[in-house]
Amino acid sequence: MNKKLMALAVAGAIAAPTVAMAQSANIQMGGSLTVLYYMHDPKNPGGPGKKGDILEPSEPEMYIRGEEKLGGGLSTWFQCTSSFDIVNGTGDGLCTRNSALGFKGGFGNFFFGNWDTPQKLVYNQARGAFSGTNALYGGTATLLYGSSSSGVGNLGNPARFYRRQSSSLNWHSPSWGGFDVKGMMSSGTEHTGLGLSPLNPRLFSFSGAYTGGPFYFGASYELHQDYNPGGVATTAAATGYSGGDDTNISLVGVWTIANAFRLSGVYSQSEYEVTNSTSMDVKGFAVYLDWKVSGPHSVRFQYGMVDSPEGNATVALPGTSYRPTSALDRGAAVAGMHYEYAFSKRTAGLISVNQMDNDPGANFSQGKSTATLGGKQQSVGIALKHRF
């Protein structure tokens, strides 16, 4: 009898905080898992990399989020999204994906945290079901934005514009008749650890969009101050880069026809102040088609390309495949298609083929092996996706 009473007491002690939490805030948990299995061919006869099969996750995540109504239309909310890698048994720790704490109300949504930039959110509207960077059905972000980056900007891949920015202040407006705006600014946290460097890195990102009927139009502008994209020495003992501005402009359009066809595209233009006296301009575009053939069957296509970078820069940008002027073309293209079958609203499988082609002076890769100048890389395989 005493054991039963003790068990009930323990159960009550555990349940009490849970009930109190449920009453004070709406708590939700969920996430998504995507597993890729494919054959990757770097197509470098006698060169770096080997043809082989790859098993890996793609952006697996698990989130917990909550919201508390404060009255007068005001709410406070939080979200912690973490990596959830069931394939390799590794992860980046807690709250390393979109995570924040903020307020929502008639003024919109104001929050602090680690979040996708407005520029990235606009681009995501174009790419839809395609990945930005994975080898099996991605790659357009690799060409247009130099690949992806997460965390403090100046210290991690400073030349990339496809970012999740930590230590950021964000505002997302409500919808005004289909129009909305978003803004982000990184905090001075980026300045720490730079010692005697003259740089004061900071990120600003803005977007505006219109959603009405079958159409979506979006535009974004992102500014990186003193991000040092060329990796120039900046210490007192080896001065070389006193700072500069790097910018990206992206334009996106989406047209959905009878909920069966979705045609979208993005144009991107980036300008880098590589050193105090040299610069590099990168321009490109991508188009996507999503066709729901019938029932659970869908077919999707993507094509993206980047032109040869322009300007008088003399060095390649670290962390990207953007190369300085030469006698050879330095652009690239990626093309892919996949068939997807929806087993349910939460689970789908797909078969995909994706190929990246380089101009004679370029070496863009799908991220699995080094690319040779003018080479091609191809991935063919399957994927299983599940949301929970």
Domain boundaries, the chain: 44-387
Burial letters 259-282, b for 16+ CB under 10 A, else e = eeebebbbbbebbbbbbeebbbeb
In this predicted model, what pLDDT tens digit does every residue of 206-233 receive, in sequence order? Answer: 999 999 999 999 999 999 999 999 988 8
Amino acid at 91: G
Give the integer Cα–Cα distance in Å for 105 and 99: 19
Architecture, CATH, for domain 44-387: Beta Barrel (2.40)
Give the integer Cα–Cα distance in Å for 203 and 273: 15
In this predicted model, what pLDDT tens digit does every residue of 243-280 receive, in sequence order? Answer: 999 999 999 999 999 989 999 999 999 999 999 999 99
Give the integer Cα–Cα distance in Å for 212 and 176: 11
Q: What is the pLDDT of residue 235?
A: 72
C-alpha distances (whole Å) from 185 to each of 79, 90, 114, 221 are: 19, 30, 11, 12
Highest mean pLDDT among 18-22, 336-340, 369-373: 336-340
Question: In the predicted model, what is the mean pLDDT of the chain?
Answer: 90
Residue 11 φ/ψ, nearest 5 degrees: -60, -40
In this predicted model, what pLDDT tens digit does every residue of 331-357 receive, in sequence order? Answer: 999 999 999 999 999 999 999 999 999
Residue 188 pLDDT grade (very low, low, confident, very high; cuts 50, 70, 90) = confident
Give the integer Cα–Cα distance in Å for 74 and 70: 5
